[in-house]
A = this chain, B = another copy of it.
């Protein structure tokens, strides 16, 4: 789903291609528009090597949910990416 990028996240970081804004996702998950902090959805593009004694859980291709303010933005060939720590990911869809 995501083409290979020349970006290697460091340590426990994960590069994510955020899902385009849609009111209903492919898997049927809807992110409600409420007062609480909303998890966001995206596809993992690349993962770091993990930290000492802490291997990574997610892998490239996983659809994941993450907190609204997680990560830092990065643009490559016109596409938006996010890079965040694995601990900012709350679930695999």
How many protomers of this protein does the assembly include? 7
**For chain A residues 40-59, which have a beta carbon within 8 Å of chain B?**
48-49, 52-54, 57-58
Contact A37 B72 (CB under 8 A): yes
Given contacts A53-B52, A91-B10, A91-B13, contact A74 B65 (CB under 8 A): yes
25 contacts between A and B (CB under 8 A): A6-B27, A6-B93, A7-B65, A7-B91, A7-B92, A9-B90, A10-B58, A10-B90, A11-B87, A28-B76, A28-B77, A29-B74, A29-B75, A29-B76, A30-B75, A32-B73, A32-B80, A36-B71, A37-B72, A38-B73, A39-B73, A48-B91, A52-B54, A67-B72, A83-B91
